[in-house]
Amino acid sequence: MSNIATEPFAAVEIITAKRDRKVLSDPMIDWVIDAYTRGAVADEQMSALLMAILLNGMNANEIARWTQAMINSGERMNWSMLKRPTTDKHSTGGVGDKITLPLAPVVAACGAAVPQLSGRGLGHTGGTLDKLESIPGWRASLSNAEMLAVLDSCGAVICAANASLAPADKKLYALRDVTGTVEAIPLIASSIMSKKIAEGTGALVLDVKTGSGAFMTDPDQARELAHTMVRLGLAAGVKTVALVTAMDVPLGLTAGNALEVRESVEVLAGGGPSDVVELTITLAREMLAAAGMSGTKDPADALKDGSAMDVWRRMIKAQGGDPDAALPVAKHQQQVLATSDGVLANLDALSVGVAAWRLGAGRSRQGESVQAGAGVELFAKPGDLVKKGEPIMTLHTDTPERFERALEALDGGWSIGEKAAPRLPLILDRITE
Residues in the chain: 433
Write the CATH number of the domain with boundaries 4-57. 1.20.970.10
Distance, in Å, from the CA atom of 178 to the CA atom of 415, rounded to the nearest integer, reads 35
Question: Considering only CA atoms, which of 275, 330, 272, 265 is closest in space to residue 132?
Answer: 265
pLDDT digits over 386-425, tens only?
A: 999 999 999 999 999 999 999 999 999 999 999 999 999 9
Please provide the average confidence, as pLDDT, over all residues in the chain: 95
Q: What average pLDDT does range 211-225 have in this prediction? A: 96
Q: Averaged over 228-238, what is the pLDDT? A: 96
Active site residue 248: no
pLDDT (tens digit per residue) in 311-357 = 999 999 999 999 999 999 999 999 999 999 999 999 999 999 999 99
For the stretch 357-380, pLDDT in tens is: 999 998 877 778 899 999 999 999
Q: How many Cα neighbours within 13 Å face the side chain of 254?
A: 24
User: What is the distance between the alpha carbons of residues 339 and 352, in angstroms, rounded to a whole number?
Assistant: 18
Question: Tens digits of per-residue pLDDT, 178-195?
Answer: 899 988 999 999 999 999
For the question of residue 176 being annotated catalytic, the response is yes
Catalytic residue among 18, 89, 170, 176: 176
419 in catalytic set: no
Q: Under CATH, what is the fold of the domain 332-417?
A: Aldehyde Oxidoreductase; domain 3 (3.90.1170)
Q: What does the domain layout of the chain look like in residue ranges?
A: 4-57, 87-325, 332-417
What is the pLDDT at residue 4? 62
Annotated active-site residue in 169, 207, 275, 348? 169
Query: What would the mean pLDDT of 80-98 be, rounded to a whole number?
Result: 95
Quick one: pLDDT at residue 294?
86
Give the span between the Cα atoms of 363 and 370, in whole angstroms: 6
Q: Could you say which of 18, 90, 170, 314 is catalytic?
A: 90
* Structure confidence at residue 172 as a pLDDT band (50, 70, 90): very high
Q: What is the largest CA-CA distance in the chain?
A: 74
Residue 226 in contact with residue 429, Cβ under 8 Å? yes
**Active site (annotated) includes residue 231:** no
Burial call 356-368: b when 16+ CB within 10 Å, e when fewer = bbbbbbbbeeeee
Burial of 80 (0-12, 13-18, 19+ CB in 10 A): exposed
Choose the catalytic residue: 98, 195, 196, 209.
195
Q: Which amino acid is at 2?
A: S
CB-based contacts of 239, cutoff 8 Å, min separation 6: 202, 203, 204, 233, 290, 291
Please indicate whether residue 190 is annotated as part of the active site.
Answer: no
Q: Is the pLDDT of residue 1 over 60?
A: no
CATH 3.40.1030.10 fits 87-325, yes or no: yes
Cα(183)–Cα(411) distance, integer angstroms:
27
| Catalytic residue selected from 190, 191, 194, 212 | 191
